[in-house]
Structure 1
């Protein structure tokens, strides 16, 4: 799973930097642990998370996950150059990985080139880890806002940093701050398979002066001829605050302005019979007139979502399909 928990964002209700439960790190950690249990996740990728200090998001989560989990953190800096989490929050701002296993090696590096003017001192790292007994390396990152050449180079740097991992096996997840169809994302989308194509962020659109949903969070993995290394992917919008950010809006409906996203690789267990998308709800599969196999994610109440995803590109004509 990957989730930008907006853990260090500031601002009160009605202000652009507002983040649900910003000053309640124990609430954020508890929700991450609930998601791990619900989805039977063995990898957690976090962005905008405070770590490496008692009482921080990551230390609270480490205690809740318990034995058998290994945790790593990579610090980043805000535009003012500070790395500490502001206010009453403990720890350093950055990205994190938690895995159910033993990390044998980890590495991190800042991917955002220096601002030529020297005014913006923001740094945004990538963090990768190898896990004992796993053939897949796990990585997470956070891409900056905007379409400047500096940000475009950050994405290219991420692609280059994956290096030999792309030749063996990796999963990269995080907040990329743009739709996968953006031109600046081509270094990743042209080279790797991706998972997640839906709304994951509820924010303020400065152009229209309205609240709107955006597709910012994604998973990528190395491409294999004729198939995808992703067996399923899903978005949990129930944890994303979708209230209007006005001074009178009242309590948030979620725990971040982002939704957590999930991916499952082939060969991993499915916690719910009939669940093929990894969201814990039975799904429906069907064959179209071209012989392609479609997956319709279930809603958990007997219905399905309006959209579908092709999971078999051909050869299914005449097949009988059952579902639970």
Structure 2
């Protein structure tokens, strides 16, 4: 399944309205709310539909960000992302509002203001007990129907939508059993259509850099609990060494770093940049739903958002899509992220494959070749020329990247010393494209990561 993200139409329309009012000399009726620092993600978004009220669940800012099932037309305020952590691995999930970037909590204490267990999108995370719920399938009620179950101490509480005659649709985790008011349908937000082919195919040379920054999984890395600033500074330093690339691919990245890294690139390298993110996921047991894996908090305890891959390209009307890669059941569901850069007639994709070999997620390397094939297909958008790379977690001799070598040129394949190591003594990081590569380089050190950055310039054929 592929997911795509563009600037929400509602916010774009509001911005246009504000600008028109300013140009006409008429005061604007409302200011545009600032986008949350999670708005750079191309991860799957969901709507929650109450079967009891036959309405969508909204986060109502005017009501203290309470959740009410009383919206007939879904928009940004009715959209959520699902999250889990490396311990729960999907057994519990947390809902995060797309409107304000905050996690939904069930308020069992004094903050419930007499409405026990009411749901509000109010915490910045990381999610704790009151933000974690279970998706309980209810197949007898229809496809994709679930009850939402919280644990209040030793008691289980199901979320209900107040569907009484005088009710306001408020969601509360206070039911002891599942009945009609406790049934909700998860509706995946549809992806936009593919972009049209570009009107022309300009000649172009693109400088690209890829770096696995090791910001979460490996506690031996200097970025393990890092805040955004030190990571952004090292990314900029690598970019300067690489000769100011046009594209930067980043793996093992935390979602909430996207905006700070974008600002650092613009401030220190110049030009307009857009940094986007796609999450690694876990499948929720007993369902087909996938929840985004969250990074561990930083050293101060602050939430860093989901864990995955990022892509930095020039700021323009660019389309993004998160691509789910075939991954071993029960393990991390790996991802790629593709950007369609119309002015280059280029499809740019960054990926992070499952770890292969004995003792790892993909011990027999069954899924890694499938991931390579999926990545090749994702980069093959009609009318656009592919540029792709990332951490493939396999050396050339394993045969995993064979389908990519068959279709494209690899940056380091024809260097004076080909296939230079990028992690330990192995080459597992790559840059592929249609055309010819020059200036391929590999960093002399890993910095605070466990991978060396690599870079090169692709002249499209």
TM-score (norm 1): 0.63
SS in 1 for 2:344: coil
Change (3 A) 1:194 1:102: same
- Tell me the alpha carbon deviations over residues 66-90 of structure 1, each in whole angstroms, 9 at most, x when there is no partner: 3611121111136996611113351
**What is the deviation of 1:95?**
0.6
Structure 2 distance, partners of 1:78, 1:256, is 24
Kept in 1: contact 2:214–2:223 (CA 8 A): no
Matching residue of 1:156 = 373
Matching residue of 1:58 = 258
Q: Highest Rg: 1 or 2? A: 2
Change (3 A) 1:181 1:6: same
Change (3 A) 1:135 1:50: same
SS in 1 for 2:221: coil
Change (3 A) 1:68 1:132: farther
Matching residue of 1:111 = 325
Structure 2 distance, partners of 1:229, 1:41, is 16
The one of 437, 441, 450 aligned to 1:230? 437
**What is the deviation of 1:215?**
0.8
Structure 2 distance, partners of 1:61, 1:157, is 28
SS in 1 for 2:293: coil
TM-score (norm 2): 0.45
Matching residue of 1:24 = 226
Matching residue of 1:175 = 391
**What is the deviation of 1:113?**
3.6
The one of 124, 131, 149 aligned to 2:334? 124
Between the two proteins, the alignment pairs up a number of residues equal to: 223
**What is the deviation of 1:168?**
4.0
Matching residue of 1:206 = none
Aligned positions of 1:270-285 closer than 5 A: none
Kept in 2: contact 1:103–1:129 (CA 8 A): no
Structure 2 distance, partners of 1:133, 1:113, is 33
Matching residue of 2:211 = 3
Is the aligned partner of 1:86 residue 2:303?
no
Structure 1 or 2: more strand by fraction = 2
**What is the deviation of 1:265?**
2.3
Kept in 1: contact 2:433–2:458 (CA 8 A): no
Is the aligned partner of 1:266 residue 2:266?
no
**What is the deviation of 1:260?**
0.7
Kept in 1: contact 2:259–2:275 (CA 8 A): no
Change (3 A) 1:20 1:191: same
Change (3 A) 1:258 1:78: farther
Is the aligned partner of 1:199 residue 2:421?
yes
Structure 1 distance, partners of 2:439, 2:342, is 24
Matching residue of 1:218 = 430
Matching residue of 2:106 = none
Please give the root-mean-square deviation of Cα atoms over the aligned residues, in Å.
2.3
Change (3 A) 1:231 1:101: farther
**What is the deviation of 1:101?**
3.4
Matching residue of 1:247 = none
Structure 1 distance, partners of 2:375, 2:349, is 10
Change (3 A) 1:181 1:148: closer
Q: Structure 1, unaligned stretches of length 5 or more? A: 12-17, 203-212, 223-227, 241-253, 268-324
